[in-house]
Amino acid sequence: MSPGLNKDGPLTIWAVSDGRAGIEAQVRGLAEAVARQRPAKVIVKRVAYRAGLGRLPQSLLVAPRAALTADSAIAPPWPDIWVAAGRATLPLSTRVGGWSKGHTFVVQTQNPRGRLDAFDFVVPPRHDGIEGPNVLPITGSPNRLSAEVLANDLQRFRPRIDPLPHPRVAVIVGGKSKTHDLPDALARSMGEAIAAAVGAAGGSLLLSFTRRTPAGARAILAQALGGLPGWIWDDTGENPYFAFLAAADIVVVTEDSTNLASEAATAGKPLYALAMAGGGRKFDLFHQDLRRLGAERAFTGILEQWKYPALDETNRAAAALLRRYDAKLSGGAK
């Protein structure tokens, strides 16, 4: 048995990120999926570095804990399982096994862009093309969805959603990133096409934006779609995003986010991808994978419904993580 690993009692799991919503959702999602399969306590940790030190190459950040801000609570006692994602966590993830003297099982999601043997387990998106004995590629990214989460969130918002006519179309809009953009002209044509499609279907709209949606595009889409029956969430009150996914008969998402599309496919809803300005090969591969699985189609102005096996990649990754943890516990794997 590897020294220090927890063989008795509930596990302690840290979900570590820089706090950005999309990154944190991945580590929390995987950690919570582990906790659904084995008794565990999940603790969310957010890290940041002082005075821009986090921008240094990893090789120069030789004392990463000393470079953290005071509110980045990365200190012993160390967790049984460390689940992290994002560049900011890498200097910590590659060292926490040593700090914990082998107690902590180290998991990294996304592409660590470095030596894979620095981790016990790596869960990258399949479209990154990473392989290795400790690697489990998945379609898309881990997320926080479960049947219980969807049901609970829908219950809270039923008074607002239940009167809306079917088909209910959830439209989730991303925005500007390193690879994509949503200029005003595209937002205008997008809004017109969605309004026409929902109107032709005789349904209703559940519209939500993300933090990356440009202000101009957001205003244009809200105006173009404001005449439809439905709900355009304006960032006030509780976020109904999961309730939107639960209530939707069809989900339409912009193509710029693997998180958004992964979550819609995990909910098992017919998924349409909205084309944006820009793009990249990895995003193309991701969407091709979803279309191969029968989950996604390109949005061309027509809304249809179909069925497919809901994506279950987060639970699959959690089960594989625990198998590998147990193997290390018994001395059978790194």
- What are the pLDDT digits (tens) for 258-280? 999 999 999 999 999 999 999 99
pLDDT, one tens digit per residue, over 223-241 is 999 999 999 999 999 999 9
Nearest to 170 by CA among 209, 206, 118, 122: 206
Q: Please determine, for residue 147, whether its predicted confidence score (pLDDT) is greater than 70.
A: yes
pLDDT given at position 8: 67
pLDDT given at position 1: 39
CB atoms within 10 A of CB 88: 24
CATH number of this structure's domain 11-139+313-329, picked from the four choices 3.40.50.2000, 2.60.120.280, 3.50.30.30, 3.40.50.12170: 3.40.50.2000
pLDDT, one tens digit per residue, over 154-200 is 999 999 999 999 999 999 999 999 999 999 999 999 999 999 999 99
Q: Please determine, for residue 101, whether its predicted confidence score (pLDDT) is greater than 80.
A: yes
pLDDT given at position 18: 95
Structure tokens at 80: 């049984």
Rounded Cα–Cα distance for residues 254 and 272 (Å): 8
pLDDT grade for 332, boundaries at 50, 70 and 90: low
Rounded Cα–Cα distance for residues 242 and 110 (Å): 23
pLDDT grade for 4, boundaries at 50, 70 and 90: low
Nearest to 305 by CA among 277, 272, 258, 276: 272
- pTM for the model stands at 0.89
Rounded Cα–Cα distance for residues 129 and 125 (Å): 8
Enumerate the CATH 3.40.50.2000 domain ranges in the chain, comma separated: 11-139+313-329, 147-298
pLDDT given at position 38: 97
CATH number of this structure's domain 147-298, picked from the four choices 3.40.50.2000, 1.10.1670.10, 3.50.50.60, 3.40.50.12780: 3.40.50.2000
Least confident of 7-11, 33-37, 269-273, 285-289: 7-11
User: Percent of the chain at pLDDT above 70?
Assistant: 96
pLDDT grade for 6, boundaries at 50, 70 and 90: low
Q: In what order do the strands lie in the sheet with 40-46?
A: 40-46, 11-17, 81-84, 105-109, 121-123
pLDDT given at position 330: 87
Nearest to 126 by CA among 102, 106, 110: 110
Beta strands in the chain (DSSP E): 11-17, 40-46, 81-84, 105-109, 121-123, 168-173, 180-181, 204-209, 230-232, 250-254, 271-274, 277-278, 296-298
